Amino acid sequence: MAAATRVEGAGSAGGGSESARVLIYSHDTFGLGHLRRSRAIANALVTDRPGVSVVIISGSPVIGNFEFGSGVDYVRVPGVVKLPNGDYRSLNLNVELDEAVGLRAAIIQQTADTFGPDLVIVDKEPTGFRGEIVPALERLKERGTRIVLGVRDVMDEPALLVPEWERKGAVDALAAYYDETWVYGLREIYEPLSGLALPGEVRQRIAYTGYLRRSLPQEPGFMRYPKSTKGPFILLTTGGGGDGDDLIDWVISAYETDAGLDLPAVIVFGPFINRDRRRSFAERIARHPKLDAIAFDTKLEYLMNRATAVVAMGGYNTFCEVLSLDKPALIVPRTSPRLEQYIRAMHAERLGLVRMLVDDEAERDPARMAAALRALPAQKRPSQVIVPGLLDGLDVIQRRFAGWLAERPRRIAISEAAE
């Protein structure tokens, strides 16, 4: 009843400062994608409504490096990391994986019990990492908390996604716990859950929001950028960097073999790149007058905004930044272990939003990359392609949240009257 008492004091949903609490779960076993998406949503919710508080639960080891809006905080659970053979282990603790998962689950449930969220947004995994969020979902559902699953525009090819979700009991969890599913993309581009045998009522609760628009951070960072960024340059980013070695190598090789490449390139390694590979790349970059590198930038939007064009692997967040900052982009998608980036790039290229270059290891010819880099500055900007609702994601989320807040006192009053 404590949550109901808090809600009854709420004002209208027309931009007021009514109180509400939002919990975002982002399992973040590796990389930056889940964290950055959750951060964008959290910041949008508190910016739109000053009375909102958001707690992000994350396993990301770098979450403390990012800035969050007033009203946003985070709880970090012990990290886990995926091994080359597909298994997982605890990232830092010297404990077995099952014990680490148990500890994570306990922290998640305690946070949910203590914070008492009105809305929960679960990123990508309906049951969480190894089912760790299910006990908390059961308690939250009993209390009448609104629970939403948020998924990116492309999950994976159906042949892999369907057995994975069956193994995790994801469809059953959707039916049992979730009030809505938000797809952070457009149906016209891709339907990520179309291959799943979803119950009719679950399918009816799917809402396509559009992509999540990104803007420049309110405060500039303290990063010292290379001198080459004072003029036109190409930005190469591989996101977290844990699987971007091949693309970095290919771009460096293009510059090493083609003296005719005029625009310099700035390479962002990312925080998860292998140290030995980074050292090797840095030595090659230092020998080339048209190449520079930085390790990691939590406010990469500033650097991307300066860039003439972008080369990237095409993860969800980088794709949103390319669209938002309106940059000609060459996407070189990863094709294993998932086809997510390839599927996104293929459909984006079909619409004319980006150009795709498939990384076929047998044909990783430096001349082929050099030709693509040379053509990049003259490429169309995304804004020259009209796709209705393309970047409406955060606006749609804010509207749905506002609509729910407007209905919330009436809905709770009915519930109390029934009691």
- Residue 39 belongs to a domain with what CATH number? 3.40.50.2000
Is residue 404 domain-shared with residue 273, that is, in the same domain?
A: no
Is residue 130 domain-shared with residue 251, that is, in the same domain?
A: no
| Mean pLDDT, all residues of the chain | 89
User: Does residue 400 lie within any of the structural domains?
Assistant: yes
**Phi-psi category of residue 399: left, alpha or beta, with phi > 0 → left and psi -120 to 50 → alpha:** alpha
Specify the higher pLDDT residue, 150 or 219: 150
Is residue 88 domain-shared with residue 167, that is, in the same domain?
A: yes
Q: Tell me the helices (H) and strands (E) count for the chain, helix number first.
A: 14, 15
Average pLDDT over residues 169-192: 96
Nearest in space to 265 (alpha carbons), one of 323, 309, 206, 328: 309
Burial 79-107 (b: 16+ CB within 10 A, else e): bbbeeeeeebebeeeeeeeeebbebbbeb
Which value, to the nearest 10 degrees, does the dihedral of the CA atoms of residues 334, 338, 66, 331 take? Answer: 30
| Size (the chain), residues | 419
What is the reported pTM? 0.88
Average pLDDT over residues 195-213: 96
Instruction: Kindly indicate the confidence band of residue 132, based on its pLDDT and cuts at 50, 70 and 90.
Output: very high
Do residues 119 and 390 make contact, with C-beta atoms less than 8 angstroms apart?
A: no
Is residue 40 domain-shared with residue 137, that is, in the same domain?
A: yes
Q: Is the pLDDT of residue 360 over 90?
A: no
> Measured between alpha carbons, how far is 181 from 117 in angstroms, rounded to an integer?
18
Six-digit token string for 14:
């027309």
User: Does residue 280 lie within any of the structural domains?
Assistant: yes
What CA–CA distances, in Å, run from 34 to 11, 151, 173, 243, 309? 32, 10, 20, 16, 24
Per-residue confidence (pLDDT) for residue 31, from 0 to 100: 60
User: Does residue 319 lie within any of the structural domains?
Assistant: yes
Q: Which domain holds residue 85?
A: 2-213+391-418
> Measured between alpha carbons, how far is 380 from 363 in angstroms, rounded to an integer?
26
Q: Do the bridges between strand 80-82 and strand 291-294 make them parallel or antiparallel, or are there none, so unpaired?
A: unpaired
Contacting residues for 91 by C-beta, under 8 A, at least 6 apart: 59, 61, 78, 79, 80, 81
Per-residue confidence (pLDDT) for residue 308, from 0 to 100: 97
Average pLDDT over residues 157-166: 92
Q: Is the pLDDT of residue 10 over 60?
A: no
User: Does residue 221 lie within any of the structural domains?
Assistant: no
Instruction: Kindly indicate the confidence band of residue 215, based on its pLDDT and cuts at 50, 70 and 90.
Output: confident
Instruction: Show the CA angle centred on residue 229, arms to residues 341 and 257, nearest 5°.
Output: 65
Six-digit token string for 153:
């525009």
Contacting residues for 316 by C-beta, under 8 A, at least 6 apart: 33, 37, 152, 153, 154, 184, 344
Q: How many CB atoms lie within 10 A of CB 1?
A: 9
Q: Is the pLDDT of residue 108 over 60?
A: yes
Q: Is the pLDDT of residue 220 over 80?
A: no
Instruction: Kindly indicate the confidence band of residue 13, based on its pLDDT and cuts at 50, 70 and 90.
Output: very low
Collapsing DSSP to helix, strand or coil, 234 comes out as strand
Per-residue confidence (pLDDT) for residue 409, from 0 to 100: 55
Average pLDDT over residues 339-365: 91
Is residue 247 domain-shared with residue 352, that is, in the same domain?
A: yes
Is residue 184 domain-shared with residue 267, that is, in the same domain?
A: no
Is residue 380 domain-shared with residue 401, that is, in the same domain?
A: no
Instruction: Kindly indicate the confidence band of residue 8, based on its pLDDT and cuts at 50, 70 and 90.
Output: very low
> Measured between alpha carbons, how far is 2 from 353 in angstroms, rounded to an integer?
48
User: Does residue 231 lie within any of the structural domains?
Assistant: yes
Is residue 202 domain-shared with residue 286, that is, in the same domain?
A: no
Collapsing DSSP to helix, strand or coil, 35 comes out as helix
Instruction: Kindly indicate the confidence band of residue 385, based on its pLDDT and cuts at 50, 70 and 90.
Output: very high
> Measured between alpha carbons, how far is 136 from 353 in angstroms, rounded to an integer?
40
User: Does residue 6 lie within any of the structural domains?
Assistant: yes
Per-residue confidence (pLDDT) for residue 84, from 0 to 100: 66
Q: Is the pLDDT of residue 5 over 50?
A: no
Average pLDDT over residues 90-109: 94
DSSP conformation class of 127 = T
Collapsing DSSP to helix, strand or coil, 352 comes out as coil
Do residues 266 and 306 make contact, with C-beta atoms less than 8 angstroms apart?
A: no
Is residue 398 domain-shared with residue 380, that is, in the same domain?
A: no
Do residues 228 and 235 make contact, with C-beta atoms less than 8 angstroms apart?
A: no
Six-digit token string for 399:
């509207």
Which stretch of 164-173, 238-247, 288-297, 323-332 has the lowest confidence by average pLDDT?
238-247
User: Does residue 260 lie within any of the structural domains?
Assistant: yes
Instruction: Kindly indicate the confidence band of residue 414, based on its pLDDT and cuts at 50, 70 and 90.
Output: very low
Q: How many CB atoms lie within 10 A of CB 251?
A: 26
Average pLDDT over residues 201-219: 92
Is residue 304 domain-shared with residue 163, that is, in the same domain?
A: no
DSSP conformation class of 255 = H
In 78-205, beta strands by DSSP E: 80-82, 88-90, 119-123, 146-152, 180-184
Query: Any bridge partners for residue 80, and if so which?
Result: 90
Instruction: Kindly indicate the confidence band of residue 419, based on its pLDDT and cuts at 50, 70 and 90.
Output: very low
The proportion of the chain whose per-residue pLDDT surpasses 90, expressed as a percent, equals 72
Burial class of residue 117 in the structure, from the number of CB atoms within 10 Å of its CB (0-12 exposed, 13-18 middle, 19+ buried): buried
Per-residue confidence (pLDDT) for residue 216, from 0 to 100: 85
Is residue 169 domain-shared with residue 202, that is, in the same domain?
A: yes
Is residue 345 domain-shared with residue 406, that is, in the same domain?
A: no
User: Does residue 99 lie within any of the structural domains?
Assistant: yes
